[in-house]
Amino acid sequence: MIPIYSSIKAIFFDMDGVLYDSMKNHEVTWVESLKKYGIDFPPREAYMNEGRTGYKTIEIAFKEYANKVISQKDKETIYNEKTRLMHLQPKAAIMEEMPRLMTFLQQRNIRTFVVTGSRQPLLLDKLHNDYNIESDHVISGFDVKKGKPDPEPYLIALERSGFKKEECMVVENAPLGIQAAKAAGIFTVALNTGILDDQTLIDAGADLLYPDTRHFAEDIMKQMTRE
Ligand code: CA
């Protein structure tokens, strides 16, 4: 038995790449929108920067790949274009076994939260419909000033949950999200659902790693049922 699974009272789930198969859409739209403004952004960077705010990602892309400082107005223009392209992408599928896991946890009275940098307007409706997550259990891009990799979003989640950090766990897929969770002092499970190698997620500080959502969901349900 992995000890943390027996004592957990709340789980903080990241959203993109953990609850929805949406990272491919982010990859394609980052590469395309930045290309229109002369930046050759390698697809891998979409995953390495995952979790940052959109404006911060644009700032870094211009600095790293054009050695340029970009104005706030230009950041907004590019981010709007990225958002426009996102709306043209196929609807992101729900990750395998995650709705079943969410129901299982909620039935055992384990509190489930979502912590995401996203600012999608329909986010709350979607999380409620697909995962039965209440709106006060969602910490989104609207709630934070700094965002990942700063611990801020996970510290907000801890405070809202009312539990000690030892009673909570984070589920993440991205290096910066893992860094944020570990900086908040919380046990962090990494699910490698993207294109990065396992070592990148381990180096970011992950305590445990699974190859995908199905292996994680099946393992945690099996271990909790055995108790
Ligand atoms: Ca993510």
pLDDT tens profile 157-188: 999 999 999 999 999 999 999 999 999 999 99
Q: Which domain holds residue 188?
A: 5-22+92-226
Ligand 1 centroid vs 215 CA: distance in angstroms? Answer: 17
Tell me what pLDDT residue 166 has: 95
Q: How many CB atoms lie within 10 A of CB 35?
A: 11
- Whether residue 149 is preceded by a cis peptide bond, meaning omega within 30 degrees of 0, is yes
Same domain flag for 120 and 18: yes
Show the DSSP H helices in the chain as ranges.
3-7, 23-35, 43-48, 54-66, 72-88, 98-107, 123-131, 152-161, 175-183, 198-203, 213-226
Same domain flag for 209 and 148: yes
Ligand 1 centroid vs 57 CA: distance in angstroms? Answer: 14
Tell me what pLDDT residue 31 has: 98
Cα 218 to chain center, whole Å? 20
Ligand 1 centroid vs 15 CA: distance in angstroms? Answer: 6
Of 51, 68, 87, the last residue of a domain is 87
pLDDT at 110 over 70: yes
Mean pLDDT value of segment 44-68: 94
Ligand 1 centroid vs 143 CA: distance in angstroms? Answer: 17
Q: How many CB atoms lie within 10 A of CB 7?
A: 11
Same domain flag for 70 and 113: no
- CATH number, domain of 80, equals 1.10.150.240
Same domain flag for 79 and 102: no
Q: How many CB atoms lie within 10 A of CB 27?
A: 20
Q: Output the average pLDDT for the chain.
A: 95
Same domain flag for 193 and 220: yes
Same domain flag for 99 and 211: yes
- What pLDDT, in 10s, does the model give residues 7-48? 899 999 999 999 999 999 999 999 999 999 999 999 999 999
Place of tokens 């395309």: 32
* Of the candidate ranges 74-78, 115-119, 160-164, the one whose mean pLDDT is the lowest: 115-119
Same domain flag for 148 and 193: yes
Of 65, 87, 109, the last residue of a domain is 87
Of 40, 71, 87, the last residue of a domain is 87
Cα-only R_g, the chain:
17
Query: For residue 6, what pLDDT band results from cuts at 50, 70 and 90?
Result: confident
The CB-side HSE value for 95 (13 A sphere, CA atoms) comes to 29
Total structural domains in the chain?
Answer: 2
- CATH number, domain of 210, equals 3.40.50.1000
Q: Quick one: tokens of 94?
A: 């729900």
Same domain flag for 58 and 157: no
Tell me what pLDDT residue 53 has: 85
